[in-house]
Amino acid sequence: MIDPKEHTVVDCDWHYADTFTQIAPYMPEPWKTKYQKSGFGDTGVKQNLAAFFPASTGSRANYGKIQREFSEYPDGGDTKEDVVAGMDELDIDVSLQISHLILAMGGVTADDRRVESFVKGYLDYMLEEVLDPDEGIYGLAPMPYHDIDASMDVLDRVEDEEAITGVVFVTAGASPPLGNRKYDPIYERCEEMGYPVVYHTGGSGLDEYVRAGYQDMIETHTLGFLESNMSQIVSVASQGVPEKFPDLDIVFMESGVTYIPGLVSRLDEEYLKRSEEAPLLEKRPGEYITDFYFGTQPLEVSARPDLLELCFDMIGTDRLLYASDYPHWDFDSPSVITDLPMIDDEDRKDILGRNALEVFDL
């Protein structure tokens, strides 16, 4: 066992609990003015059935049970000081900030500029008020990937910013899925810039994510987060993104680890029966997938130890990245890694920080 205080801990998924009120002054026009005149307030939602981003139901904070000392989650309104204090409490040396609000972007299907405007405003806000490499606070740039030109604008904006270490694709709602050639220009540019692509699952629209009628968040969160990542992993691997862009680092975040062996096994079985449908692949799709990086959270610590051990062995401890997901309701503290019985201390140090230092060139 190791003490996280004595080792570098990089948290690859801290969610800055932002509010629209914080971001709107930084948004480009006309959405800056449209937002400020909307009355949508901090949360982007008005109780007259209007919202900036479509909202999903279910109480993230489990109807009042979840409380956070170092964040205004779930309503938002964090400050840099909240992040510094929370990192200190959790013994996190470096955090990669991902907007809390952007996770709902997948609900936007209109061909308008809401997502682009939010992302540009968010990045200017974060660069001005929160991100600070001297304090170990870095960020990932969300991609408004449905609009390639807008995504290129965002990459132009951040490419010389030391505090931005990669991009994030919210996997929920990405249609066509993210292996489609439409997204190639973003991948090509990220590969050139040395930016890892972090695919982060999301929750928007989960109540009807495949079919309508789920009762509660225990169902939609279990299935939706998993499906959103699985669908993109299958697309990215099968369509040959790793063959097209061999120097691109690919990271999948926030669905734990136990789904990987099942998905890899199923996809490989399909591939052996239908190889011509994945003509760019030089090996089984599962071999590409286990070369991806995976955020550990929410780690299934209650699973059978031999299952977790199998997952770690299949993915490789050199491919696992500690992620807290703080302040979200199901966050993991570094102890989920330091207390894992089936790995040794060198593996723990790799997962807690050393892998991420390398992937994100910190």
Piece of 194-202, 254-262, 276-284, 301-309 that binds another protein (CB under 8 A): 276-284
Distance in Å, CB of 180 to another protein, minimum: 10
Find out whether 309 and 26 touch, Cβ atoms under 8 Å.
no
Instruction: Work out which of 46, 266, 274, 304 binds another protein, going by CB under 8 A.
Output: 274
Instruction: Work out which of 14, 26, 35, 187 binds another protein, going by CB under 8 A.
Output: 187
Distance in Å, CB of 44 to another protein, minimum: 33
Instruction: Work out which of 29, 111, 160, 276 binds another protein, going by CB under 8 A.
Output: 276
Q: For the window 196-235, what string marks contact with another protein as x by the rule CB under 8 A?
A: ----------------------------------------
Residue 272 sits in the site that holds another protein (CB under 8 A): yes
Cα separation, 297 vs 309, in Å, equals 16
Piece of 132-140, 223-231, 239-247, 345-353 that binds another protein (CB under 8 A): 239-247
Residue 182 sits in the site that holds another protein (CB under 8 A): yes
Distance in Å, CB of 183 to another protein, minimum: 9
Please report the sign of the dihedral spanned by the C-alpha atoms of residue 253, residue 201, residue 99, residue 185: positive
Cα separation, 36 vs 247, in Å, equals 42
Piece of 98-106, 126-134, 269-277, 291-299 that binds another protein (CB under 8 A): 269-277
Cα separation, 157 vs 31, in Å, equals 19
Residue 304 sits in the site that holds another protein (CB under 8 A): no
Residue 266 sits in the site that holds another protein (CB under 8 A): no
Distance in Å, CB of 243 to another protein, minimum: 8
Cα separation, 266 vs 260, in Å, equals 10
Question: Is the peptide bond prior to 142 cis by the omega test (within 30 degrees of 0)?
Answer: no
Residue 64 sits in the site that holds another protein (CB under 8 A): no
Instruction: Report the candidate in 63, 43, 64 with the shortest Cα–Cα distance to residue 53.
Output: 43
- CA distances 74 to 78, 146, 208, 255, 265, Å, are 10, 27, 22, 20, 37
Beta strands in 43-93 (DSSP E): 45-46, 50-51
C-beta atoms surrounding 11 within 10 Å = 31
Instruction: Work out which of 81, 109, 181, 339 binds another protein, going by CB under 8 A.
Output: 181
Q: How many residues bind another protein (CB under 8 A)?
A: 21
Who contacts 222 (Cβ-Cβ below 8 Å, separation ≥6)?
none
Distance in Å, CB of 284 to another protein, minimum: 6
Which residue, 3 or 277, has its beta carbon nearer to another protein? Answer: 277
C-beta atoms surrounding 153 within 10 Å = 16
| Exposure b/e, 93-104, CB count within 10 A at least 16 = b | bbbbbbbbbbbb
Instruction: Work out which of 213, 246, 279, 341 binds another protein, going by CB under 8 A.
Output: 279
Which residue, 111 or 282, has its beta carbon nearer to another protein? Answer: 282
SS3 string, 288-357, reads HHCCCEEECCCCCCCCCHHHHHHHHHHHCCCCEECCCCCCCCCCCCCHHHHCCCCCCHHHHHHHHHHHHH
Instruction: Work out which of 120, 284, 319, 349 binds another protein, going by CB under 8 A.
Output: 284
Cα separation, 330 vs 13, in Å, equals 12
Which residue, 139 or 240, has its beta carbon nearer to another protein? Answer: 240
Instruction: Work out which of 74, 177, 185, 316 binds another protein, going by CB under 8 A.
Output: 185
Q: Which residues bind another protein (CB under 8 A)?
A: 181-182, 184-185, 187-188, 239-240, 244, 271-276, 278-281, 283-284
